[in-house]
Amino acid sequence: MNMRYLRSLSKRFPNIAKASTEIVNLSAILNLPKGTEHYVSDLHGENEQFLHVLKNGSGAIKRKIEEEYGNTLSYRDKRTLATLIYYPQKKLELMQSQEDNIEDWYKIIIYRLIHVTRAVATKYTRSKVRKALPPDFAYIFEELIYKERTTAKHDYYDDIIHTIIRIDRAPACIIALCELIQRLVIDHLHVLGDIYDRGSGPHIIMDTLINYHSVDIQWGNHDITWMAAASGHLASIATILRIAARYGELDVVEDGYGINLIPLLRFVSDTYKNVPGKNFDIHYNEATYDVQYMDIDKRMQKALAVIQFKLEGQIIKNHPEFHMDDRLLLDKIDYVNKTVTLEGVAYAINDTDFPTIDPANPYALSEEEAMVMERIRSAFLNSEKLQRHIKFLYEKGSLYLVHNNNLLFHGCVPLNESGNFLKVTLEGKKYCGKALYDQLDTYARKAYYLKPSEHKTYCQDIMWFIWCNAASPLFGKHKMATFERYFIDDETTWKERKNPYYKLYDDQEIVYKIMREFGINPETGHIINGHVPVKSAENPVKCNGKLFVIDGGFSKAYQKTTGIAGYTLVCNSYGLQIASHKPFSSAEEAVKNETDVHTETVEVEFFPTRKLVRDTDVGKELQEQIEDLEELLEAYRNGTMRQSY
């Protein structure tokens, strides 16, 4: 086995010289500073806010400008430079219309951008920077970034920039430099779930992530629902359509993914003629929503809620092992007294107008409902863009990730009241802790990739379980009170109790136990998760800096509660910083008035010694490669392997 591997390795490094050179290169990389990691969570379709945070690296670019220029540039010049880096094309157009001598401005700004580029490139090898260079300017940028500190070539460098301006390539050069800075300032992006639902641009976020240079994704419960829907799971399709109607974002489905909803519209127009009550209000974005659609969106929301409850009831009846009989409520409605029985108590309901519910068989879809859902399922399965995005989620995503001795996941590790891992029975076997995550991850992949079969259907139902079951690590509450919020005015029934994890994640013994379960050294590791919005008065740093909850409310629907617009985390070679962001107005406002997202950054951990590549997972892989190459080198030297030239 070892000799076969060495023969394979020798094809890439056929002699002592080439193997030795690679050993030297890899050993040098180990001693570079580790790349900057950027953690974001719960984006919920807010593409403009996310794209801005991504462009400014949660303040990393602004900090780098401050480090390089300090008091040598005015506050206004530094602000202009930062805005240009974030939105080069739009800012250029504005400056071209305002500057009297645009060529002088080009020259100054190119020099400043080269200076910033040089600063953000210092932690990378020349080879890695070269691979990131835009092809049209690769040679020029490499010359300028690595220019020699000598007066002998001063005119040479000046002439490069002068020629770029003279031949009208300055705008393209500036855009390319800005994009290169954005590329180099963040080495890797972690997205901790919930890309989808509520906001208007999850498909735009997905396009951005697909084209991002280095990213991983930990699935959120909303992502799981979209993934299940893309596999053709009817209950999940009904759920995401209902949520889209509730937030006035059905355009995401129709325009973003090209899914035809006309059959649903016709069905609702014919069947649900009365406008539902207040609990079907549309939580819309005033800047983008057309209120003329409010009436039909309310009715669509109600129709989809009924379809959802029916389909969910079928799943619950088929899977008693899910222990969700308390969610079977359609058969508990008393149409005469206008009540529903919930946990043995009869509560008044505000609506009994259910034209498609047969009290004798309440969980059966009507013929019209079944026909509409089948047509929509076909549209989901045949949406090329949706399927491409979901495949990317599978390729880059997982239920959790252990990376650089940190544990990343979206929701929680399910615990019981005693702080022990909650045991869950699936197909007759008990799972808890890491094993539960691993098994659910496997089911989620089979749900999408298996050919139609009974087991595929079971796996799809498991994805619904992940969406809303009390034992799910992505949900973490005792119930999803959707029915209660729509139909019961008594708000005491709306309460969704959180899993004990959220009471115990300040307990060091519990947090350390979770880290050890996933193979992490508690002394140096951390847990990073999102899912539950952290209010502005609440500290997102838990357990003395060992656990971070970074959902601060990217979604506008949460911002009245949280008071902010999201937390993000940055880990560079010096330490960890957590940033809280104020709501973002628009890219146009940012370009015109040079207004950045107001970000407050707090250093939460300062590493005693600067972290190097050798301290990371990549460093471990490189060290293994070095050891393999040294074995190959020894084989060449003792004659076991023959060199070729």
Can you give the pLDDT at residue 424? 97
pLDDT at 461 > cutoff 60: yes
Nearest CA among 219, 220, 216, 223 for reference residue 39: 216
- Same domain? 42 vs 135: yes
- Same domain? 281 vs 135: no
Tokens read off for 151: 């007066």
- Same domain? 607 vs 628: no
Domain range for 386 is: 202-487
pLDDT at 557 > cutoff 70: no
Contact 230, 387 (CB under 8 A): yes
Q: Please tell me the distance from the alpha carbon of residue 342 to that of residue 493, in angstroms, as a whole number.
A: 8
Can you give the pLDDT at residue 599? 66
Kindly report, residue by residue over 398-418, the tens digit of the pLDDT: 999 999 999 999 999 999 999
Can you give the pLDDT at residue 388? 98
- Same domain? 19 vs 73: no
Contact 172, 136 (CB under 8 A): yes
Question: Going by DSSP bridges, is the β-strand pair 526-529/541-542 parallel, antiparallel, or unpaired?
Answer: unpaired
Contact 512, 527 (CB under 8 A): no
Nearest CA among 408, 499, 90, 368 for reference residue 218: 408
C-alpha neighbours within 13 Å on the C-beta side of residue 610: 11
The pLDDT > 90 percentage for the chain reads: 82
* Cα dist from 154 to 69, 148, 164, 531, whole Å: 21, 9, 16, 54
Can you give the pLDDT at residue 287? 79
C-alpha neighbours within 13 Å on the C-beta side of residue 322: 26
Question: Going by DSSP bridges, is the β-strand pair 526-529/406-409 parallel, antiparallel, or unpaired?
Answer: parallel
Kindly report, residue by residue over 477-489, the tens digit of the pLDDT: 999 999 999 999 9
Can you give the pLDDT at residue 92? 94
Contact 590, 86 (CB under 8 A): yes
Adjacent-strand bridge partners of 363? none
Q: Which residues contact 505 (CB under 8 A, 6 or more apart)?
A: 412, 511, 527, 542, 543, 547, 549
Average pLDDT over residues 168-176: 96
pLDDT at 116 > cutoff 90: yes
Can you give the pLDDT at residue 619? 97
Q: Please tell me the distance from the alpha carbon of residue 92 to that of residue 174, in angstroms, as a whole number.
A: 9
Query: In this predicted structure, which of 212-216, 229-233, 261-265, 534-538 has the lowest mean pLDDT?
Result: 534-538
pLDDT grade for 558, boundaries at 50, 70 and 90: low
Give the helix/strand (H/E) hosting 243.
helix 234-246
> Considering the entire predicted model, what is its pTM?
0.93
Establish if 517 belongs to a structural domain.
no
Establish if 62 belongs to a structural domain.
yes
Question: Going by DSSP bridges, is the β-strand pair 333-334/215-218 parallel, antiparallel, or unpaired?
Answer: unpaired
pLDDT at 491 > cutoff 60: yes
pLDDT at 88 > cutoff 90: yes
- Same domain? 565 vs 630: no
Establish if 499 belongs to a structural domain.
no
pLDDT grade for 177, boundaries at 50, 70 and 90: very high
Contact 524, 405 (CB under 8 A): yes
Nearest CA among 242, 245, 240 for reference residue 220: 240
Can you give the pLDDT at residue 327? 96
Establish if 319 belongs to a structural domain.
yes
Contact 467, 474 (CB under 8 A): yes
- Same domain? 580 vs 477: no
The residue from 487, 518, 538 where one domain ends is 487
Average pLDDT over residues 625-638: 95
Residue count (the chain) = 645
Establish if 317 belongs to a structural domain.
yes
Kindly report, residue by residue over 316-347, the tens digit of the pLDDT: 999 999 999 999 999 999 999 999 999 999 99
- Same domain? 107 vs 221: no
Establish if 509 belongs to a structural domain.
no
pLDDT at 539 > cutoff 90: no
Contact 499, 476 (CB under 8 A): yes
Sign of CA dihedral 26, 28, 31, 37: negative
Q: Please tell me the distance from the alpha carbon of residue 177 to that of residue 110, in angstroms, as a whole number.
A: 8
Can you give the pLDDT at residue 602? 82
Contact 467, 225 (CB under 8 A): yes
Angle between helix axes 170-185 and 154-166 (nearest 10 degrees) is 120
Contact 466, 224 (CB under 8 A): yes
Q: How many domains does the chain have?
A: 3
Q: Please tell me the distance from the alpha carbon of residue 235 to that of residue 242, in angstroms, as a whole number.
A: 11
- Same domain? 431 vs 570: no
- Same domain? 445 vs 560: no
Sign of CA dihedral 602, 607, 610, 613: negative
Give the helix/strand (H/E) hosting 97.
helix 88-98
- Same domain? 72 vs 23: no
Sign of CA dihedral 310, 312, 313, 315: positive
Kindly report, residue by residue over 584-630, the tens digit of the pLDDT: 777 787 788 777 656 677 888 999 999 999 999 999 999 999 999 99
Tokens read off for 55: 């462009």
DSSP state of 365: P
Q: What are the two backbone dihedrals, phi and then psi, of residue 14, each rounded to the nearest 5 degrees?
A: -80, -5
- Same domain? 465 vs 550: no
- Same domain? 182 vs 208: no
Average pLDDT over residues 626-643: 95
pLDDT grade for 241, boundaries at 50, 70 and 90: very high
Can you give the pLDDT at residue 155? 84
DSSP state of 477: B
Can you give the pLDDT at residue 153? 77
Can you give the pLDDT at residue 562? 56
Establish if 496 belongs to a structural domain.
no
Establish if 72 belongs to a structural domain.
yes
Nearest CA among 223, 186, 225 for reference residue 308: 225
Give the helix/strand (H/E) hosting 223.
helix 221-230
Can you give the pLDDT at residue 561? 59
Nearest CA among 501, 495, 445 for reference residue 473: 501
The residue from 487, 520, 540 where one domain ends is 487
The pLDDT > 70 percentage for the chain reads: 96
Contact 209, 191 (CB under 8 A): yes
